[in-house]
Amino acid sequence: MTDRFQRTAKFQIGQVVKHRVFAFRGVVFDIDPEFNNTEEWWLAIPAEVRPSKDQPFYHLLAENAETEYIAYVSEQNLLPDDSGTPLRHPQLSEMFERDSGGGYRPRNTLIN
């Protein structure tokens, strides 16, 4: 990440976020300054809700009521989750430790 990008991304590594439309939340573990997935993945999103590619996209350790998974979500579809409710994702403890503010901080500063 460049310094310029760090100032413009709305969310940070370790921040808990929730999806604006779908009922899931997660912890940010990586950020792409713009879309960096396959064209096939992007085209699979219905055109009427397909986000633009020229915004940050976030890699999340995500979960919903039924399961845990990895999600790739555009910035426009995320909101901060300030509930303070811990997440249960099984990979969470490998990458993060819980901080006193209810968020998460990386265990290893080399995580990108």
Tell me the pLDDT band of 103, cut-offs 50, 70 and 90: confident
Phi then psi dihedrals of residue 74, to 5 deg = -70, 150
Phi, psi for residue 62 in degrees, rounded to 5: -110, 160
Q: Mean pLDDT across the stretch 60-82?
A: 97
Burial 61-82 (b: 16+ CB within 10 A, else e): bbbeeeebeebebbbebbeebe
Per residue in 34-68, pLDDT (tens digit) is 999 999 999 998 898 899 999 999 999 999 999 99
Q: How far is CA 110 from CA 1, 28, 29, 105, in A?
A: 13, 15, 12, 12
What is the pTM for the complete model shown?
0.87
Catalogue all structural domains in the chain, each as residue range(s) with its CATH number.
Answer: 3-106 (2.30.30.390)
The count of residues in the chain is 112
